[in-house]
Amino acid sequence: MTDSELVFSILYTSRRPKEIHTCCSRWLKACDSNKRVELVVCTDGDDTASLEEVKRVQNAWPQFQIRQVVQDQPPYNCVKGWNLAARHASADAWIVIADDFVPPQRWDLLLSRVTCRHGVPWWTHPHVIHVNTLFVNEIITMPIVSRAWCDQYGYLFYPEYESMFCDTDLTARAKRDGVILRVLNLKFEHLHYNLNKRAFDDVDKVHASKERWRRGETIYLERKSRGFLILKK
C-alpha cells in the first residue's frame, strides 16, 4: 500500500453534543484528502443530543465516510466508546481523538510520510506513533496506532479501564514492545483545562474523578505486575 492509498480511521467518542460538530469539522477541514479519512463516532445510548449531532456532521460532510456507532449498554465511558469505534474501523491506521485535540493542516499527508527504521509502511506493521500534544509528552495521550499492533492484544485500550490510566497502559505496552515512533515535530495541540485552554466541565468531573483515578491506578499496577496480559480473541 502506498501513502496515496493509506486510509486513517479517526476513532472519536464524546459525551459533549455541543462539541461534536466542531471537533469533527476541525479534523475534516484540516485533512489533505477526503479519500484518506474515515471518521467513526461513538455516542452513548442515552445521549440523543449527541446522536443527532453526528447525523448533522454526516449531512454537512457527505464527501467523507462517517460512521456512527452507539454504546447500547450502560455504564458508559470513553474506553468502551473508543474500543467500540475501533471494532467498526475499516482502516489499518487508527487515530484516537477526544473533543479537545487540534490537528495540524494536512495531518493525514504528514502522518503518511512517517518512516520506520525497517523502511516499510508503518501502518502495515505493529507501530504506535507518538506526536507532540504540547502538554503531556511522557504519555501518549493521543494514540496513533496500527491495527497490526492492536490485533496482537485483542484490544485498543484494555477494557476494564473507564478513562484514567488507559493511555498510561497503552504507552507502557508500546514501550515494552519497542514499537513507538517518536515524531514530536508533528504538533496536535491538546486544549486541556489544566492549561487554561478550555473550561473544566461536567464531563471532566466524571472522566477525571478521584474514584476513576483510584480504580484506574489499581488496574494499571496489577496489569503491570503481570506483564500486561493479552486478552484471548
pLDDT at 120: 83
Tens digit of pLDDT at every position of the chain (233 positions): 444 467 899 999 999 999 999 999 999 999 999 999 999 999 999 999 999 999 999 999 999 999 999 999 999 999 999 999 999 999 999 999 999 999 999 999 999 999 887 778 899 999 999 999 999 889 999 999 999 999 999 999 999 999 999 999 999 999 999 999 999 999 999 999 999 999 999 999 999 999 999 999 999 999 999 999 777 55
Q: Are strands 144-146 and 128-132 parallel, antiparallel or unpaired?
A: antiparallel
Q: State residue 119's pLDDT score.
A: 77
CA distances 1 to 123, 136, 148, 179, Å, are 9, 33, 14, 20
Q: For the whole model, what pTM was predicted?
A: 0.95
For residue 27, give the nearest of 85, 98, 103, 82 by alpha carbon: 103
Asked whether the CA dihedral 121, 102, 139, 147 is positive or negative, the reply is: negative
Of the candidates 125, 130, 98, 97, which has an alpha carbon nearest to the alpha carbon of residue 111? 130
Pairing of strands 8-13, 93-97: parallel
pLDDT of residue 88: 97
Q: Quote the pLDDT of residue 131.
A: 98
- How much is the pLDDT for 232? 53
Domains and CATH numbers, the chain: 8-225 (3.90.550.10)
Q: Quote the pLDDT of residue 126.
A: 95
